[in-house]
Structure 1
Amino acid sequence: MAFGSRAAGKHRGSSRLSRKTAGYAGIAALATTGVVGSIAAPAFAADGKAPSMEDTGLNAVVVAEDLQGEIQAQADSQERAAEVAATKAQAEADAKQQAAEAKRVAEAKAKAERDAAERAAREEERKRLNTFVAPVEDSYVSTQWHAGGGMWSSGSHTGIDFHAASGTTVHAVGAGTVVESGNGGAYGNNVVIKHNDGTYTQYGHMSSLSVSVGQEVTAGQQIGLSGSTGNSSGPHLHFEARTGPQYGSDIDPVSYLRSHGVNV
């Protein structure tokens, strides 16, 4: 037998890495347990060599710590992702709420504008329907209502006469519908208008007419020119206010016009 060679199966001496690892393990054991000689020393004495990393279980500890670190890092990442998602969701919710509020405000404003426009239109229509003007501008009453005399078949004047030279513009005193336009016998060329309040006005002795039956007219609209047609002593406008379209339903024209805001 060759004494100079190592026998098979004999343990090799611990390597530098094994000894260093053993040192780390011993330090870890010392720090953990506080035991110096009673456990670690016999192991060295009995065998004469340092334990490997596998013997001490240090490798398992390192792996466990690495795994725990990875788990913690993953948990931190997930937490950050959740926070980002929550922030994004909150921002989207806030944006939707702001958009909804802006839409509500815009709709309320549009409705208010529509309501205001409708009120203005109704007021304008009310004014249009209730506005009255004099039949002849810058004129005066030359003959009063119910004045007596042989010129009138009824024995009295059924309207009032406005001073007007031939060809003077005659206006509808208020909005309404033309129910008569043409020759009216003693009235000559005449127009009768039914107004929105159910009353009627009549305009006689005109030289020409500019409206026809069924036509809608507004206050101040020209309906013809003054003249002296029919039973007339000279150019003027004969004006009547009536409760109906026919002769004989006349009412006080001055009071009628004044009740509608027209000073004569």
Structure 2
Amino acid sequence: MAFSCATGKHRRPSRVKQATTRTMGVAALTTTGVIGTLSGPAFAAEPSAEQTGLTLALSIGDSVAEQVGAQAAAQRQAAEAAAQQEAREKAEALAEKRAAEKAEQERKAEERAAREAERKRLNTYVSPIAGSYVSTGYRTGGAVWSSGTHTGVDFHAASGTTVRSVGSGTVVAAGWGGAYGNQIVIRMHDGTYTQYGHLSSIAVSVGQTVTPGQHIGLSGATGNVTGAHLHFEARTTAEYGSDIDPVAYLRAHGVNV
């Protein structure tokens, strides 16, 4: 008994028809050249859309990595340069500090040396006549002195012998002194006074400062004398009558008389 198939629109095509349809589709593609195109060398050489996107992503990733690496290298270089600059500045500051400290130490040393030199100068005393000796002592009695005694000492000295300041001080009198002849009176740095009498010449003036051993005049025989010599007095004031023992005065200041 033979059966015929219904031709309704909801009936699925048979397997034979499906195969035939596929065959016809392939043939049509072959006729239009699509298969030939897809299977040609050009298709093999041209990258697919998926391949092109991957390559671009890799290229962009490499570029960003290079930029990041370059930035990191630049930052490292900047940090190293900053560290070196900071180290240089610290070294320079330390060198300046040490130089300032050294200069301050040198300044203080110079000040100490200057003070010591000044102290030594102020405390240095010498004999008024170099290499001489006392020929007439202090408080020696006799009619030749108006007070009845000698108010100073006489140093042996020929006329024209250099007379020296016994220490540092300021000249308060320089000129004629009556019985003392040409005289010089010096106020010493410690407030005492020294007098030099019977000079043949005077080499200083009032107000002048003098130093130990400085030439101030020449010995002679001016005033009330019997011969050339130097009359030397030590006083508590610039005036006559305030005399103190000149030998003890000089010895107290280190002079061997």
Q: Deviations over 1:134-166 (max 9, x none)?
A: 100000011110011111111111001101011
1:160 paired to 2:153: yes
Residue identity matched to 1:171: R
What CA distance in whole angstroms lies between the structure 1 residues aligned with 2:38 and 2:75? 54
What is the aligned counterpart of 1:194 among 182, 187, 194?
187
Q: How does 1:229-244 map to 2 (within 5 A)?
A: 229-244=222-237
Q: Which residue of 1 aligns with 2:126?
A: 133
Q: How does 1:111-260 map to 2 (within 5 A)?
A: 111-260=104-253
Q: Please list every run of at least 4 consecutive aligned residues from structure 1 whose deviation after the TM superposition is greater than 2 angstroms.
A: 5-21
Secondary structure of residue in 2 paired with 1:156: coil
Q: Percent identity?
A: 54
Residue identity matched to 2:209: E
Secondary structure of residue in 1 paired with 2:185: strand
Q: How does 1:22-41 map to 2 (within 5 A)?
A: none
Q: Which residue of 1 aligns with 2:41?
A: 16
- Give the unaligned 5+ runs of structure 1: 22-51
Q: By how many angstroms is 1:9 displaced?
A: 7.8
Residue identity matched to 2:39: S
Q: Deviations over 1:57-88 (max 9, x none)?
A: 12111111111111111111111111111111
- Count of matched residue pairs: 230
What CA distance in whole angstroms lies between the structure 2 residues aligned with 1:213 and 1:129? 20
What CA distance in whole angstroms lies between the structure 1 residues aligned with 2:32 and 2:44? 23
What CA distance in whole angstroms lies between the structure 2 residues aligned with 1:247 and 1:93? 76
Q: By how many angstroms is 1:18 displaced?
A: 3.4
Q: Which residue of 2 aligns with 1:53?
A: 48
Secondary structure of residue in 1 paired with 2:109: helix
- Give the unaligned 5+ runs of structure 2: 1-26
What CA distance in whole angstroms lies between the structure 2 residues aligned with 1:201 and 1:106? 48
Secondary structure of residue in 2 paired with 1:258: helix
Secondary structure of residue in 1 paired with 2:172: strand
Q: Which residue of 2 aligns with 1:28?
A: none
Task: Tell me the C-alpha RMSD between the 2 structures.
Answer: 2.0
What CA distance in whole angstroms lies between the structure 1 residues aligned with 2:116 and 2:131? 28
Secondary structure of residue in 1 paired with 2:38: coil
Q: How does 1:62-73 map to 2 (within 5 A)?
A: 62-73=55-66
Q: By how many angstroms is 1:122 displaced?
A: 1.7
What is the aligned counterpart of 2:79 among 76, 80, 86?
86
Secondary structure of residue in 1 paired with 2:196: strand
What CA distance in whole angstroms lies between the structure 2 residues aligned with 1:239 and 1:138? 15
Q: By how many angstroms is 1:20 displaced?
A: 6.2
Secondary structure of residue in 2 paired with 1:225: strand
Q: Which residue of 2 aligns with 1:261?
A: 254
What CA distance in whole angstroms lies between the structure 2 residues aligned with 1:75 and 1:158? 104
Residue identity matched to 1:64: A
Task: Report the TM-score when normalising by structure 1.
Answer: 0.82
Task: Report the TM-score when normalising by structure 2.
Answer: 0.84
